[in-house]
């Protein structure tokens, strides 16, 4: 981490704390980072803070030490509009797109820039308790000593007390059936109080539709609650790749065309190719 990277991280951290309401709430959402460490960063007492800690905080607040600059693609603009609509009008949505379409990065950016936005990156090993633990942590609240019903009650009361909250469930297709069906309970408790966005690859749509066709428990309810519709993101276009390339210092049209041809619509691949071309030059 360079000195400039640390300055950018602190600036982003200050903005993040302003959005989330308090330093303690931000620290609670970061695994392995204390409020005291954030205080030291904000007060420029950096001598004893390891680079690994800086990188962890920088990643959380959306700052890259690699010099990477984000660009507004068609999908990122659409996603931000969907998130805003969901948050403002307490809508439930299901959004699908190919891997590498920029879903996660856009959601991270939205969470960092908007108050009462909570992004959960789902995993296969989550159970209901772990789901609620992550949700409470994002809101800066402790779950220690609480039973599952008490955690649910606490999360719902907190969300209902907030102005226009939104929960974004990224990679929702990774959730086991019992946790995915828990979405119904959450929806029922928060209807008209909180926006909820399920976001994943196309596998989520196939899974839900197959569950409906097989009359599996809860799947018709999930399908109904997302409005009987899955919003599909567009494929990455040449214009998207060009914007990202130019934002990161590649202006040569021939190189941009090569990157667009080789990336197969995957923005992670675009990033790798950009770094490869920059190293070569």
User: How far apart are the C-alpha atoms of 191 and 196, rounded to whole Å?
Assistant: 9
Q: pLDDT tens digits for 169-198?
A: 999 999 999 999 988 999 999 999 999 999
**Residue 242 vs residues 102, 147, 278: alpha-carbon distances, Å:** 15, 51, 15
pLDDT bin (cut points 50, 70, 90) of residue 143 is confident
Residues 263, 266: Cα–Cα separation, whole Å: 6
Packing angle, helices 35-42 and 51-60, rounded to 10: 90
Q: Are 190 and 156 spatial neighbours (Cβ–Cβ below 8 Å)?
A: yes
pLDDT of res. 67? 63
Q: Are 9 and 58 in contact (CB under 8 A)?
A: yes
pLDDT-derived band of residue 202, with 50, 70 and 90 as boundaries? Answer: very high
Rounded mean pLDDT of 256-260?
95
Q: What average pLDDT does the chain have?
A: 91
Which strands sit side by side in the sheet containing 195-200, from one edge to the other?
A: 117-121, 166-170, 195-200, 92-96, 231-232
Q: How confident is the model at residue 138 (pLDDT cuts 50, 70, 90)?
A: confident
Strand runs labelled E in 229-271: 231-232
Q: Minimal CA–CA distance to 118: which of 159, 147, 90?
A: 159
Query: Which tens digit of pLDDT belongs to each residue from 26-70?
Result: 888 787 889 999 999 999 899 889 888 988 888 888 776 556 777
**Rounded mean pLDDT of 120-148?**
91
Q: What is the pLDDT of residue 75?
A: 94
Dihedral sign, CA of 178, 181, 183, 188? negative
**Any idea which of 1-5, 178-182, 196-200, 267-271 has the lowest mean pLDDT?**
1-5
Predicted local distance difference test score (pLDDT) of residue 279: 83
Output the pTM of the full model.
0.79
Distances (CA, A) of 90 to 87, 177, 187: 5, 24, 10
Percent helix, strand and coil across the chain, each to the nearest 5 = 60, 10, 35
Chain segment 203-253, per-residue pLDDT in tens? 999 999 999 999 999 999 999 999 999 999 999 999 999 999 998 889 999
């Amino acid at each position: 981490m360079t000195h400039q990277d640390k300055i950018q991280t602190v600036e982003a951290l200050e903005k993040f704390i302003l959005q989330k309401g308090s330093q303690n709430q931000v620290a609670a959402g970061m695994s392995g980072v204390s409020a005291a460490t954030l205080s030291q960063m904000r007060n420029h007492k950096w001598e004893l803070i390891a680079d690994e800690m800086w990188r962890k905080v920088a990643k959380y607040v959306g700052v890259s030490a690699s010099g990477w600059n984000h660009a507004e693609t068609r999908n990122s603009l659409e996603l931000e509009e969907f998130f805003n609509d969901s948050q403002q009008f307490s809508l439930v949505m299901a959004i699908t797109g190919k891997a590498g379409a920029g879903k996660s990065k856009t959601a991270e950016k939205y969470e960092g820039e908007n108050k009462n936005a909570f992004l959960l990156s789902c995993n296969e090993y989550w159970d209901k308790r772990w789901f609620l633990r992550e949700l409470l942590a994002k809101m800066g609240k402790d779950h220690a000593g609480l039973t599952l019903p008490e955690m649910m009650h606490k999360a719902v009361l907190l969300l209902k007390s907030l102005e226009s909250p939104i929960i974004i469930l990224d990679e929702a297709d990774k959730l086991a059936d019992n946790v995915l069906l828990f979405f119904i309970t959450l929806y029922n408790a928060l209807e008209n109080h909180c926006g909820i966005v399920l976001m994943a690859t196309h596998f989520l749509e196939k899974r839900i539709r197959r569950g409906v066709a097989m009359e599996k428990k809860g799947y018709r309810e999930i399908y109904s609650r997302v409005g009987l519709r899955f919003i599909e993101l567009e494929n990455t276009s040449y214009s998207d790749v060009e914007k990202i390339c130019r934002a990161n210092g590649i202006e040569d049209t021939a190189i941009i065309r090569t990157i667009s041809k080789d990336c197969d619509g995957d923005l992670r691949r675009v990033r790798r190719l950009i770094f490869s071309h920059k190293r070569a030059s």
